[in-house]
Amino acid sequence: MSKSPSLRRIQADIRELAFDPSDRYHAAPMENDMFEWHFTIRGADGTDFEGGMYHGRILLPPEYPMRPPNIIFLTPSGRFETNTKICLSFSAFHPELWQPAWGIRLILEALISFLPTPADGAIGALDWSSAERKKLAAQSVHHECPICGKIAKLLPEVKKTTDEGSSQKPSRFQKEIEELQKAQQMQHALSVEGGETKLDVCQEIIHEEAVSEEQQPESFNSVDTNFGKDDGILKGKIEKECNDDMKEEEEGDVEIICSQHSSAGENETQKQTTEANSISTKIDDEPATEQYETDVSAVDPPIIVPDQQQQQSWQSDISSSWFLSDPVLNAIILVLSMTCYLLLKKIDAVMEEIYALESE
């Protein structure tokens, strides 16, 4: 039985990662769902995320690799929200930028390179201070996934050299990652030029309140596994308030429109009342009954009984159908005439044969 193209591609990604592993990232699909992967990446050297280990999920669509995945971080980093689908140029938020040739390895290397980039107000992005990110990086090594276990055991030790420090190989996707970062900046520039929408304002409020709550010293004493849940609850409350405000505005617009319609109806009623009063005054002033009847007939059109309306519509339908069916009737008459003519000719031929037989 042949497998689907998506499953064949996923198995190719698994073999490719197993054949050429890295000490900077690790990823593997779930045992019961090949379309859900758990990944662990190491923060880049020389950044606020150096020494940190960040765990998350990659949700592949059924159309993979024709469509991009959703990416969710499970470890707090100060750059991305937890338990939230983040907006990146290689995620499901931008399918127009995705290329089917890309795979899991490019996603992991791109995530490492996107950690130090500006948040730019994207969905699921955070812009915390350098000190906060370094504290979270130190705490991240203690994160433990309920499915994968302790993430520090998933990545091997980083190989060091005496002169150059890390022996990390240059990424073969460096060009693609640079283009993705440019595309991300371009998307942000377009959104800024287009102006802030109400959703943008709600997102800014979510980020500001999340940062203000997590800036307290108590939040850095231990790794908080409910970090992302609090952000989700806060985000839901604020989005609900914004939706209520929008609903109130729409209801206000509807009330204004209804009031306009009601005022227009009142004006029309007043106009009709004025016309009726003028007609009654004119009738009272006219002594003759014939003139009264003439005025009334001039104002009010003749009333047509429903039966009369149906009869008129029926007659109009008959007349229209007559003109439409006239060519058909002509054709039928012509066919009948030709048939009668042929029958008469046949009868004449038969009679002549009979006369010939009798004469013999």
Just list the catalytic residues.
Answer: 87
Q: Are strands 36-42 and 70-73 parallel, antiparallel or unpaired?
A: unpaired
* Inter-CA distances, 234 with 82, 208, 211, 257, 344, Å: 13, 11, 12, 35, 97
Name 42's bridge partners.
Answer: 53
CA separation, residue 302 to residues 294, 298, 306 (Å): 12, 9, 13
Using DSSP's 3-state secondary structure scheme, residue 77 falls into coil
Contact predicate 171/109, CB 8 Å: yes
- Which regions of the chain does DSSP assign to beta strands (E)? 25-29, 36-42, 53-59, 70-73, 144-145, 149-150, 160-161, 165-166
Read off the tokens for 200. 């943008």
For the chain, the distance separating the N- and C-terminal CA atoms, rounded to the nearest angstrom, is: 89
**Which residue do the tokens 């758990």 mark?**
38
What are all long-range contacts of 224-227, with beta carbons under 8 Å and residues at least 24 apart? 224/76, 227/76, 227/82
Displacement of CA 121 from its chain's centroid (Å): 20
What is the CB-side half-sphere exposure of residue 56 using CA atoms within 13 A? 27
What is the CB neighbour count within 10 angstroms for residue 225?
15
Q: What φ, ψ does residue 16 adopt, rounded to 5°?
A: -65, -40
Helix, strand, or coil (residue 34): coil
**What distance in Å separates the CA atoms of residue 64 and residue 113, rounded to the nearest whole number?**
23
Q: How many CB atoms lie within 10 A of CB 179?
A: 13
